[in-house]
Amino acid sequence: MWKNYSLIVWLVIIGLVMGGCQMGKGSERDIKPSEMKAEDLPDVRALQDEFTRSFIESTEEVEPGYYSFLSGTKQYRMLFPKEGVIHQGYGVKEDQFEGFLMSTINDNGTDSQIKINYYAYATIESVEGGLEMLEGSVGQKLEFEKVKAETSELYYAPFQFDSDTFGIAALVASLKENGVIQIVYDTQCKKDQNECKQIKEEEVDKMIHWAESIEFVDKEIK
């Protein structure tokens, strides 16, 4: 009897210890990068830059090379490259407007810049005017493709600034509520012509995938 009792006590102790360990691990996952010390974070630009990591929701990658970014307006989320940083000049007005420039170093040795403007008051009906604004931003007439998702529409068009610089202009519009995001995403390649041609194909596909990751936050459950 005493042997059985001792065994039960021992199993209970093990269970408590293991449960405590699991809760501890869960607590670590719940800690935001902005609440952690730089030396305890992965050695990547997005988390080592103090301002940038204030937007990153977790140290766990949601896709290889990307973290989850929550807008300063709390109105949308998107993928954020681990080697990306947000530059000076960031601007936000409550939950109504947000504008910033981010840059990232790509695995293929190229550099990219992404300019983002969010307008809370804009509606799906204002898309045509938004696309015209994007054409003015890049100084070109663009042919936009449309991708419709469950709660948003994405419009994007590739462009070429010069022999070294290419990118996409994009617009994401909410279908449920007001909200439009305008994007100019460009990459500079200074390698030889054949290599840059291959890089361009890969990077444009990556740009479109990134733009498709943008989702508006449901205000009813936020």
Is the pLDDT at 221 greater than 80? The verdict is no
Residue 25 has pLDDT above 80, yes or no: no
Q: pLDDT band at residue 167, thresholds of 50, 70 and 90? A: very high
Pick the CATH number of 79-216 from 1.25.40, 3.40.50, 3.40.1000, 3.10.150: 3.40.1000
Question: What is the structure's pLDDT at 200?
Answer: 95
* Ranges assigned E (strand) in 41-179: 66-70, 76-81, 84-86, 91-93, 97-105, 111-119, 145-148, 152-160, 165-174
Question: Tens of pLDDT along 133-163?
Answer: 999 999 999 999 999 999 999 999 999 998 8
The residue-averaged pLDDT of 161-184 equals 95
The angle at the Cα of 169, spanning 49 to 72, to the nearest 5 degrees, equals 35
Per DSSP, helices labelled H in the chain are 2-30, 45-48, 50-53, 127-138, 193-212
**Smallest Cα–Cα separation from 154: which of 128, 174, 177?**
174
Find the largest Cα–Cα distance for the chain: 86
Structural domain boundaries in the chain: 79-216
pTM of the full predicted structure?
Answer: 0.84
pLDDT at 11 over 50: no
* Model confidence pLDDT, tens digit, residues 90-147: 999 999 999 999 999 999 999 999 999 999 999 999 999 999 999 999 999 999 999 9
| Calpha distance 200→192 (Å, rounded) | 12
218 band by pLDDT with thresholds 50, 70 and 90: confident
Amino acid letter, residue 214: I
Between the CA of residue 52 and those of 55, 109, 166, what are the distances in Å? 6, 21, 25
Q: What are 62's two structure tokens?
A: 């949601």
Task: Give the list of residues 6+ apart from residue 127 with CB closer than 8 angstroms, or none.
Answer: 153, 155, 171, 173, 180
Q: What percentage of the chain carries pLDDT values higher than 90?
A: 79
Lowest mean pLDDT, pick from 24-33, 90-99, 135-144, 199-208: 24-33
Give dist(CA 88, CA 104) in Å, integer. 14
